[in-house]
């Protein structure tokens, strides 16, 4: 889990993100792998904490580059989308998924200082 979230935080901090169906760096795969474990093992608070904290451990030159400005928020948005995709692939209706996500408070996840 730590490797996946660290890799994603670094990718988002330097501007590597998913664009449409193209995913040359395996960003979607890493995100889905992390979430499948996190959804079973972490509470919403712990997930937010993990996402926020991982940025603290990135090298200074990665943390302080211009593309890292809103990387934490972009990573949380990415995770929300991955959660929707995971449940859609399991056959749930997209309206039901969005309702559960809204009720769970996942849409309220924010990075400290945002």
Answer yes or no: is 60 within a domain: yes
In a domain, 16, yes or no: yes
Dump pLDDT digits (tens) for 45-72.
677 777 778 888 889 888 888 888 888 8
Of residues 77, 79, 76, 84, the one with CA closest to residue 101 = 84
**Tally of domains in the chain:** 1
114 falls within a domain? no
Domain of residue 77: give its range: 2-108
Structural domain includes residue 68: yes
Inside any domain, residue 43 = yes
Measured distance CA(49)–CA(47) in Å, rounded: 5
Predicted confidence (pLDDT) per residue in 67-102, tens digit = 888 888 888 888 888 888 888 999 999 899 888 877
pTM: 0.74
Task: Indicate whether 113 belongs to any domain.
Answer: no
């Amino acid at each position: 889990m730590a490797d996946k979230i660290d890799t994603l935080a670094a990718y988002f901090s330097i501007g590597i993100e998913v664009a449409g169906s193209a995913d040359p760096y395996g960003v979607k795969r890493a995100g889905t792998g992390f979430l499948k474990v996190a959804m079973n093992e972490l509470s919403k608070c712990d997930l937010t904490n993990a996402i926020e904290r991982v940025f603290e451990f990135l090298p200074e030159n990665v943390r302080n580059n211009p593309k890292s400005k809103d990387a934490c928020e972009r990573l949380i948005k990415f995770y929300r989308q991955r959660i929707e995709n995971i449940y859609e692939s399991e056959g749930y209706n997209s309206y039901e998924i969005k309702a559960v996500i809204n009720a769970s408070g996942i849409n309220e996840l924010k990075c400290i200082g945002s």
